[in-house]
Amino acid sequence: MQQVRPVTFLKGLATFIPGVARFACRSSGGTDSARYCYSVWMRHLVALKSSGLATCFSRVAELGPGDSFGIGLSAVLTGVDEYNAFDAKSHAVAEKNGEILEELIGLFQQREPIPDSDEFPQVSPQLEQYEFPSDILTDDILKAALHPNRLADVRQALEHEESGNIRIRYVAPWDDSSLLELESIDLVFSQAVMEHVENVPGSYQALYAWLKSGGIMSHQIDYKSHGLARDWNGHWTISDLQWKIIKGNRPYLINRHPHSAHVAMMKEAGFQIVGENKIQLPPLSRAALDHRYLDLSDGDLETSGATLQAVKPGR
């Protein structure tokens, strides 16, 4: 059976019509929901703790926040003073960020349990339990992070980029690693982004340059076909020529890199992998693969997603 429906090719071709490519990249994930953002940030924190890594940060950066800065705002509400967001395209809307911030404040004040797989079945990493992580976000940490004066600064910084100690910065589109001071960031994270990035080695190199020695990266990556093929792994059966038509004139789609390629590119940039939590699904028959993917390992063929944590080694 054909992996790609004719309409998928037609959609790609349509993006050559002026204005359509912009429209085709309009949808950008789940960050228009405060509960999604809260769930994602808490899952990254809990996963970091499970790997024995730090969970308190001062300066963070996120790649690809999507429709709002809600994941980064969650970070700020748990003690982060500086949040830098870099997207390929400007999706986030100011009023939405304000609404999401207010809802997030309520979730943290109520110590809301982490929204789980019943509420967000597609969201990873999945956790063993979803209670509020009061061992990570202690009463003392939250009392300081949610102090009314600090919240006033957060609201101001959301509008004016900076207030008191708080800085909230959004750059979209970005393509320049000099946007951040070298060795200034404690944590870089992304959710469902690295599979879309066109220049993955260049991005990991930029993240490496931004992180302090000992700084941490936490990425959730979805290797599936994103509805572009019939099966979750059908994108690895499509020839380069067909893929060019499917991608059309869009600035990004999915890069089709398998798990081991991300691991190799992180290591190439200088990172040490410290956590690797893979999601597995049934593999394709090797006979179906396009020749470009013939040497995918058995592991890659069944890895549909992963949380990858890496550290920039200390000097």
Binding stretches for ligand SAM (CB under 6 A) = 28-31, 63-66, 86-89, 91, 191-193, 196-198, 203, 252
Q: How near is the Cβ of 25 to ligand SAM at its closest, in Å?
A: 7
Q: How near is the Cβ of 138 to ligand SAM at its closest, in Å?
A: 27
Q: How near is the Cβ of 204 to ligand SAM at its closest, in Å?
A: 11
Q: Which is nearer to ligand SAM, 64 or 258 (by Cβ)?
A: 64
C-alpha–C-alpha distance, residues 38 and 7, integer Å = 35
Question: Could you give the C-alpha distances from 77 to 41, 124, 185, 273, in angstroms and in order?
Answer: 11, 21, 17, 28
State the amino acid at position 220 in one-letter form: Q
* Residue 190 near residue 247 (C-beta atoms within 8 A): no
CA 83, distance to chain mean position in Å, is 14
User: In this structure, what token pair is assigned to residue 44?
Assistant: 């990254």
User: Rounded to the nearest 10 degrees, what angle do helices 34-50 and 94-109 cross at?
Assistant: 60
C-alpha–C-alpha distance, residues 4 and 10, integer Å = 11
Q: Which is nearer to ligand SAM, 289 or 306 (by Cβ)?
A: 306
Beta bridge partners of 216: 187, 311
Radius of gyration, CA atoms only, the chain: 20
Q: Which is nearer to ligand SAM, 150 or 235 (by Cβ)?
A: 235
Q: Which is nearer to ligand SAM, 28 or 237 (by Cβ)?
A: 28
Q: Which is nearer to ligand SAM, 30 or 283 (by Cβ)?
A: 30
Q: Which is nearer to ligand SAM, 63 or 158 (by Cβ)?
A: 63
Q: Which is nearer to ligand SAM, 43 or 196 (by Cβ)?
A: 196
Beta bridge partners of 84: 61, 169
* Residue 236 near residue 289 (C-beta atoms within 8 A): yes
Q: How near is the Cβ of 305 to ligand SAM at its closest, in Å?
A: 12
C-alpha–C-alpha distance, residues 312 and 315, integer Å = 9
Q: How near is the Cβ of 31 to ligand SAM at its closest, in Å?
A: 4
Q: How near is the Cβ of 86 to ligand SAM at its closest, in Å?
A: 5
Q: Which is nearer to ligand SAM, 29 or 133 (by Cβ)?
A: 29
Give the residue nearest to ligand SAM (CB).
29
Residues 6 or more apart from 35 whose CB is under 8 A from it?
103, 107, 115, 119, 120
Beta bridge partners of 311: 216, 272
Q: How near is the Cβ of 270 to ligand SAM at its closest, in Å?
A: 19
Q: How near is the Cβ of 61 to ligand SAM at its closest, in Å?
A: 10
Residues 6 or more apart from 6 whose CB is under 8 A from it?
none
